[in-house]
Structures are given as C-alpha cells and as structure tokens.
Amino acid sequence: MKTWKTWSSAAALAAGLALGTLSTGAARAEETIKVGILHSLSGTMAISETTLKDVMLMLIAEQNAKGGVLGKKLEPVVVDPASNWPLFAEKARELISKDKVSAVFGCWTSVSRKSVLPVFKELDNILFYPVQYEGEESERNVFYTGAAPNQQAIPAVDYLMSEDGGGAKRWVLEGTDYVYPRTTNKILEAYLKSKGVAAEDIMINYTPFGFSDWQTEVSKIKAFGSAGKKTAVVSTINGDANVPFYKELGNQGIKATDIPVVAFSVGEEELAGIDAKPLVGHLAAWNYFESIKTPENEEFIKKWQAFKKNPKATTNDPMEASYIGFNMWVKAVEKAGTTDPDKVIAALPGIEQKNLTGGTAQMLPNHHITKPVFIGEIEANGQFDVVWKTDKLIPGEAWSKQLDGSKDLEADWVKLNCGNYNTKTKKCGGA
C-alpha cells in the first residue's frame, strides 16, 4: 500500500514537471502562430493534395516575408493523413490538441471532411476546405472556399442547354460511385426535370473508384447519343479514372462536336497526364482557370512556378480556393486582433478577398463564398479556353434549392447562428 502511495506521488510529481515543461513550451510557441496543413502526401489522393500542401507553404512563406500576422510569424505544421479517412480525424486531433494550431487548411474528398468534422466541433477550431463539393452542409467550424453545386454544376448544364453550348436535349450523368457524384447527380436530375427534360432523356451511370476499362461505358454513351437528339455528358468522374475515360472517348472517336463532355473534377493538373489533342473542345466548369489573364493571376502563376522551381508547373481551381481561404483567414485574424477560433469565426463572414480571375469574393453568413463561374474548352496544349462566364459572382448555396429535403433549409451563422434552419417549421435542426 505504501509503495503504491509513493509511486502515485512520484507520478504526480513527474506529471507536474511535465506540465511545467509543457507550459514553457507553450510560452515559447506564443512567438509564432501555428497553422495546420492536413493534406494527403501519400496514397491515392496524393496526386491532387500534394499541390495544395505546397501552395499553403508558399502562401505562408509569402505572408511571413510581409511580416506575418499580428506581428508574429506563421509556422506551418504539415501532417500526412495518407489518403486514409480515419487517419484524417486522428491527425486533425493531433494538430489541434498537440500542436495547438490556430486554424487548419485541408481535406479534399468529402469523406475526409466528414471524418474530421466531429473533431473540429469538439475541439472548436477552424477548417478551411478548398475543394468543390456536393453542398448540403454548413458547419460553424468549417469555411467552404470551393464551389457549391450551384456555383459549378448548374451553370455548366445551363451553358450546354444554351444555343452557344450546342443546345443539348439528352443527358448522360456519369460519375464515380461515392457521395459527391451521387448528390450532384440528384441535384442535376431534379434541375433538368424542372427544365422540361423527360426522364427517358436522362441516363445516370456509376463506376467504381479507379475504374480503368471504359469500353462498355463509352459505347453505352455512344448508343444513348444516337437517338436523334443532341446529347451531352456531365462527368463527375473523380481522380485517376478520368485519364482512361478520356483515352477511350478519343479511341472510340467521340468528338466534342458530337457529344460534348463537361467535367467537374478535371483540371489542368489531371490533363497533364494525357495527350490532350483528341479531347479538344470537351469542357470543364470551374471557378478558376490558369489561362485566365488578369494581373493577379499572372503574378500568382509566376510566384508558383518560382516556388516549385518548375517553369511548367500548372495552377488549378482548388489552389485558388486555398489562396482565397488563407487570405480571408489572415484578414479575419487581423480584424479580430486575435487567433482565438471563436473570435475569428465571428469575424470571417463579410471578409472580402480579390479573386485571381477578377471580382472580389466575399465570405457569406453560410460560410460559403461568392464565386465567378467559368466554362472552359480543353485546348490541344492541355489548358482551357474560357468560352463562357457568369456576368456576376454567384453566392454559394449550402442547401440545394432542387432537392426536397433541403430546399426549405437555410444556413446563417450570423443572424440565426444555425447551419440548417428550417424556414417552414422555424426551427434549427434540419428537415
């Protein structure tokens, strides 16, 4: 018994000592502001996410060269969740509890965002999410700087229906089988039907992740397209599966003038892996293209290529979203005068930041931002030629107006302090 007591008091002493060192450590950490970067550097998502880590490092270095934030230098803390969804939650916890970061920039796939959500709520920190996604979410701790469906999918479909876009009457919705394509396609299907497209003129198809044998799918599209009506394909195919898909389109001779394909996940980065010549004229809808000529964009590309020491390094939409998110955070911290997450969250709505492609993005009370929408056609050099753009910035909708469960919901963290306020029942808490 006595030994136990001795031991426990020794343990308490040791704990006290450890606490002491910790607090001195914390005191020293006060000199910098830590910023967490939570992007996969290995595994399947490394192809897309590694660039975002690099962009964040570049932005932080640049901000430090300007004198940091609130007179303190920023210190990036990079972790690798390795494309492993549960590991995202663990690493997020590590960043917030152990490294005491003031904000986290990260995630790509929706499933990784969903897996870190409880951590950010529990530990009350801020996540900036820079990728276009399916919407149907608005969380107090998350700021969505990528596009919501109404800022990408719906304008793209509008363009294809227009005279300039070819006046499509028949639609193939082709996607990878997971939450983003399924939700987006549900929204698009409802939207198309509201525009008078008959159910037999819509074909919805899903393929597994990393699908590589597209022969049957492409010939199905070809057959569907030969019904005497102008046909278009809306592709929510994700990641690696795109390259074999486009190769098969080229091989089976489906040209953009016959059946145009508009993609929501194909950017400059993905095209770098294919010979773009057979794809000329296929489309992509984004809020940013590298080829858009503005002074801000040219400067950004120059800095990026210098940072990567590669004169051919490409830029893409999620990189711009990271840029906007980071600068908004810096402005909000300066406005709040502190890095305390609660105060920064309160300061963020209303913050404005210039887009790289013209116009000024504004953080909305629903934690989404306003964005311009561009439709680009693939050019032979793997870049996009912008053929259409919205005449004004479009505010991001957290809840789609097309879906039954969500059209009555409203997200407003400023007035209502609620992410899913039901305008029918006048209650916070969903449908």
Question: Which of 47, 77, 78, 203 lies at the binding interface for other proteins (CB under 8 A)?
Answer: 47
Q: Which is nearer to other proteins, 120 or 211 (CB)?
A: 211
Q: Is 130 in the site for other proteins (CB under 8 A)?
A: no
Burial category of 23 from C-beta neighbours within 10 Å (exposed 0-12, middle 13-18, buried 19 and up) = exposed
What is the rounded distance in angstroms from the CA atom of residue 334 to the CA atom of residue 329? 9
Q: Is 32 in the site for other proteins (CB under 8 A)?
A: no
Question: Which of 129, 144, 191, 211 lies at the binding interface for other proteins (CB under 8 A)?
Answer: 211
Q: Is 198 in the site for other proteins (CB under 8 A)?
A: no
Cβ contacts of residue 418 below 8 Å, gap of 6+? 411, 412, 428, 429
Question: Which of 228, 293, 424, 426 lies at the binding interface for other proteins (CB under 8 A)?
Answer: 228
Q: Is 210 in the site for other proteins (CB under 8 A)?
A: yes
Q: Which is nearer to other proteins, 54 or 137 (CB)?
A: 54
Q: Which is nearer to other proteins, 133 or 211 (CB)?
A: 211
What is the smallest separation between the CB atom of 230 and other proteins, expressed in angstroms?
Answer: 10
Size of the site for other proteins (CB under 8 A): 57
Q: Which is nearer to other proteins, 96 or 172 (CB)?
A: 172
What is the smallest separation between the CB atom of 159 and other proteins, expressed in angstroms?
Answer: 10
Question: Which of 22, 272, 414, 431 lies at the binding interface for other proteins (CB under 8 A)?
Answer: 272
- Restricted to residues 371-410, the positions that interact with other proteins (CB under 8 A) are 377, 385, 387
Q: Is 252 in the site for other proteins (CB under 8 A)?
A: yes
Question: Which of 90, 99, 258, 408 lies at the binding interface for other proteins (CB under 8 A)?
Answer: 258
Q: Is 311 in the site for other proteins (CB under 8 A)?
A: no
Binding track over 145-164 against other proteins, x by CB under 8 A: ------------------xx
Q: Which is nearer to other proteins, 222 or 407 (CB)?
A: 222
What is the rounded distance in angstroms from the CA atom of residue 370 to the CA atom of residue 2? 67
Binding track over 328-367 against other proteins, x by CB under 8 A: ----------------------------------------
Q: Is 57 in the site for other proteins (CB under 8 A)?
A: no
Q: Is 423 in the site for other proteins (CB under 8 A)?
A: no
What is the smallest separation between the CB atom of 40 and other proteins, expressed in angstroms?
Answer: 9
**Stretch of 189-197, 226-234, 292-300, 366-374 lying at the interface with other proteins (CB under 8 A):** 226-234
**Stretch of 71-79, 110-118, 254-262, 344-352 lying at the interface with other proteins (CB under 8 A):** 254-262
What is the rounded distance in angstroms from the CA atom of residue 199 to the CA atom of residue 214? 24
Q: Which is nearer to other proteins, 252 or 423 (CB)?
A: 252
Q: Which of 135, 142, 114 is nearest to 184 (CA)?
A: 135
Binding site for other proteins (CB under 8 A): 41-44, 46-47, 50, 163-166, 177, 205-208, 210-213, 215-217, 219-220, 222-223, 225-229, 240, 243-244, 247-248, 250-253, 256-258, 260, 269-270, 272-275, 278, 281, 283, 377, 385, 387
